[in-house]
Amino acid sequence: MGEGFKKSYGMTIGADFSVYKIDDYILHIWDLAGQVRFSQILKAYYIGTVGCLIVFDITNPDSFQNVPTWIEQLVKNNENKIVPIIIVGNKADLRESGKSSISNEKAREYVKKLSDWTRFDVPYIETSALLGLNVEQTFRNLINKIDIEQAQLQNQ
């Protein structure tokens, strides 16, 4: 976000960090490698997480199948806390190109099951980094969910 789409973007090795300001919020964004071989070195990055975007590539079934593993890693490595989550299907622009993709219905069906498991309504949104489709709105939605959760915690 903020830097635009990078055509030469490569696979994340370990973790990438960026800071993004949106309204009065400063987001510290960790882009963690999704490959299993990096899972051991990523544990420390989950600690203190207050919200999470779980992003998969809609044109990559393996990426979609990893979503439950990524959520499990988040909860396990963040002191078993379930935080606000949004599931994001990226590369929505490729669906129209005829490239094979995870259907919107299949993703929503999985997210419904996830919502039943957590105490949160877990939304699903599709984005396109290439087109800038729903990218900023996704972060705004997460900020809103975090605000609601933080207010509820303060009222306990």
Per-residue pLDDT of the chain (156 residues; tens, 9 = 90+): 555 545 544 555 457 889 989 999 999 898 876 555 555 667 787 889 999 999 999 999 999 998 988 888 899 999 988 899 999 999 999 987 878 889 999 999 999 988 887 767 899 999 999 999 999 999 999 999 999 999 988 998
Is residue 6, in this structure, part of any structural domain at all?
A: no
Q: How many folded domains does the chain comprise?
A: 1
pTM confidence score: 0.85
The per-residue pLDDT for 16 is: 81
Is residue 24, in this structure, part of any structural domain at all?
A: yes
Is residue 88, in this structure, part of any structural domain at all?
A: yes
- List 124's β-bridge partners, or say none: 87
Range of the domain at 61: 15-154
CATH at 139: 3.40.50.300
The per-residue pLDDT for 8 is: 46
Tell whether the torsion through CA atoms of 74, 78, 129 and 122 is positive or negative. positive
Are 93 and 133 in contact, with CB atoms under 8 Å apart? Answer: yes
Helices (H), 1-103: 43-46, 61-65, 67-77
Are 100 and 59 in contact, with CB atoms under 8 Å apart? Answer: yes
Is residue 52, in this structure, part of any structural domain at all?
A: yes
Amino acid at position 125, single letter: I
Rounded Cα gap, residues 133 and 90, in angstroms: 9
Is residue 132, in this structure, part of any structural domain at all?
A: yes
